[in-house]
Amino acid sequence: MLIAERHKKLTSIINESGSSRVSELSKIFSVTEETIRRDLEKLENAGKLKRSHGGAVSVELSGHESPYFEREVRNVIEKMDVAEEAVKYVSINERIILDASTTAWYMAKILPDIPLTVVTNSLKVAMELSNRKKISVISAGGTLLQKSLSFVGPQTTAALESYYVNKAFISCRGVHAVRGISDSHEMQALVKKKMSEIADEVFLLADHSKFGVQAFSKVAAIEEINFIITDSRTSKEQIDEFDDCAATIIRPSKIQ
């Protein structure tokens, strides 16, 4: 395969998946990891992608927020696996936070109708829970972001200041063993940060594509996360990078 053709396919794979690791790309193209690293360096210099720890991330994820309908269809099976696992950690009469991520929306879709208080900045989550008789929904208002159908800004963080919750379920664009949790949108990152600060326990919802990625805006240090719920495609290599972290990593129980 010509170098130019490999570069084109590399870019396509990373844009479609959101991110990819050097080890995975090396196997796909049957070349050494050093060759892939050189390819990624050239592609980054050309503005085609952004290198991350152990791999690369699509430029779509590194500087702006993707429209909700695009995120809604990205890694759907994996996000549903994460959501199904996360719901197991919701107990009756708890106060919880669901952020404006698609994974949190999947959680809302399958939450049982039990006595709960749910705080959210997501229109999609609020609407999904509007027909549950036993769930009380509190919407943290603010400036509406049309792409994500969520509220952000000083009004949102000020509203969140009024509450304490048992558990926060938040997602991200990147989870990095050294750099911590990050998001592509600065205002979303500030909201997620506040959500984590008012919760007794923080559950990070992160499918395999988020690992090793460093996005634009920091949400929290890895030490501030209690649990990371991920999917079956997250490799042992990815998880091993978090061996020294206090966070407990949870994967779906159906994994063999």
Dump pLDDT digits (tens) for 142-170: 999 888 889 999 999 999 999 999 999 99
Among the listed residues 139, 137, 142, the one whose alpha carbon sits nearest the alpha carbon of residue 187: 142
Q: What token pair was written down for 170? A: 């938040």
Q: What is the mean pLDDT of residues 79-106?
A: 95
Give yes or no for a contact between 200 and 224, defined as CB atoms under 8 angstroms apart: no
Q: Which class for 33: exposed (0-12), middle (13-18), buried (19 or more C-beta within 10 A)?
A: middle
Residue 240 token pair: 């091993």
Residue 246: what pLDDT? 86
Element (H, E) at 43: helix 33-45
Q: Could you tell me where the beta strands, DSSP code E, fall in 163-255?
A: 165-171, 174-176, 180-183, 199-205, 217-220, 227-229, 248-250
- Give yes or no for a contact between 45 and 175, defined as CB atoms under 8 angstroms apart: no
pLDDT band at 213 (very low <50, low <70, confident <90, very high): confident
Per-residue pLDDT, 18:
65
Is the CB of residue 205 less than 8 Å from the CB of residue 86? yes
User: Band of the pLDDT at 206, cuts 50, 70, 90?
Assistant: very high
pLDDT in tens, 26-75: 888 889 999 999 999 899 888 888 787 678 877 655 444 555 444 444 56
Q: Is 30 left (phi over 0), alpha (psi -120 to 50) or beta?
A: left
DSSP 162: T
How far does the chain reach from its first CA to its final CA, in angstroms?
Answer: 36
Average pLDDT for residues 179-204, to the nearest whole number?
94
β-pairing verdict for 199-205 and 227-229: parallel
What average pLDDT score do residues 5-15 get?
Answer: 84
Neighbouring residues of 189: CB distance < 8 A, sequence distance ≥ 6 = 182, 183, 217, 218, 219
Give the residue-averaged pLDDT of 230-238.
Answer: 89
* pLDDT over 90 at 1, yes or no: no
Would you say residue 77 has pLDDT above 90?
no
Mean pLDDT of 173-200: 93
Full-prediction pTM beyond 0.85?
no
pLDDT of residue 68: 47
CA distances for 189 relative to 29, 194, 234, angstroms: 35, 9, 23
What percent of the chain clears pLDDT 70, i.e. is strictly above it? 90
**pLDDT at residue 123 in the model:** 94
Q: How far apart are CA 216 and CA 52, in angstroms?
A: 12
Between 82 and 56, where is the model more confident?
A: 82
**Shortest CA distance to 203 belongs to which of 243, 235, 236, 230?**
230
**Predicted pLDDT of residue 117:** 98
Decide which of 196 and 235 is more confident. 196
pLDDT at 171: 95
pLDDT recorded at residue 48: 82
